[in-house]
Amino acid sequence: MQEMGFFTDTTLCIGCKACEVACKQWNQLPDDGFSLTGMSYDNTGTLGASTWRHVAFVERTEPLPGQGSPRDGIEAGAGAFAELRPLGQPAPTSLLHDVAPTHLADVPVALGPSQQALGKFSWLMMSDVCKHCERAGCLEACPTGAILRTEFGSVYIQPDVCNGCGYCVSACPFGVVDRREDDGRAWKCTLCYDRLEGGMVPACAKACPTASIQFGSLADLRERARNRVEQLRARGVADARLYGETAESQPGTEGLHAFFLLCDRPEVYGLPPDPVVPTAKIVASWRAMATGVVSLAALALGAVLSARRA
């Protein structure tokens, strides 16, 4: 069976939080409170035991090139606003279909003073989720076998086997895995394993109205992502880049099954620039310790021999 995953195109995210709601509804997760954190339009703050999808809002005091409606200018051509047909949706997403520039006049609409002022400000929005790493630190650290790799390539925590030790929490380089306060067990995104078994698309991808969250086989998603980066760079988004799409680009995790398209450095989105699972360096650690032990033994032996000669 081919490996499945998510490709999240942050340039299409509008911050609607439909993915958060769909995730909570399908997985019957409790709410996280209904008050804003005071940090932008965010009431969840971060991923956690009861928040398996989190939409991050990043405010920047600099413009993001290549954005806007075709009514602001048609230089990019029809290809820049090409329709997407995500897996599980029979027709193009309504938003992208509506902005297709084929039916618009050839004269761009002039921007007013308020629009010009907003040109110096930009939002970066990203729906964050468990990355389902190819080399998952949580899976390697689990002492009970509660965490396993499914036939779809996702990383799944079995709640009936988890003993709440918390080793997986510290082993995750992204800080995704969390424990519930009531029972202490670890929880995270399951890639909607129950839906996949039934031939359905994950709830978050199904609910996304702009195809920011795209689900499918990893091979297809990687090709689609590379094409999207080329498209954005042609529109002037020079900082467009992929995050964790292959083992070569992110050797510390050997690649992600939920990778992202970003328009700025990973740190701006709250992602580590070079994540490494703790077990990836365990061999080097043992070698360093062995070298230290041998060095100390040699020094001790040398001291004994010197004392005897004296």
Q: Which residues line the annotated binding site for [4Fe-4S] cluster?
A: 13, 16, 19, 23, 130, 133, 138, 142, 162, 165, 168, 172, 189, 192, 204, 208
- Distance from C-alpha of 49 to C-alpha of 177, rounded to nearest angstrom: 7
- Distance from C-alpha of 279 to C-alpha of 55, rounded to nearest angstrom: 29
- Within 13 Å, how many C-alpha atoms sit on residue 152's CB side? 25
Ramachandran region, residue 258 (left: φ > 0; alpha: ψ -120 to 50; beta: rest): beta
Q: Is the C-alpha dihedral spanning 138, 140, 146, 147 positive or negative?
A: positive
- Distance from C-alpha of 265 to C-alpha of 253, rounded to nearest angstrom: 18
- Distance from C-alpha of 51 to C-alpha of 32, rounded to nearest angstrom: 8
Q: How far is CA 260 from the centre of its chain?
A: 6
Query: Annotated binding residues, as ranges?
Result: 13, 16, 19, 23, 130, 133, 138, 142, 162, 165, 168, 172, 189, 192, 204, 208
Quick check: 274 and 252 in contact, CB under 8 A?
yes
Locate 5 and state its tokens: 């995953």
Which of 13, 19, 5, 6 lies closest to 47 in space, CA to CA? 19
Helix or strand (DSSP H, E) at 267: none
Q: What angle do CA 267, 268, 274 make, to 5 degrees?
A: 15
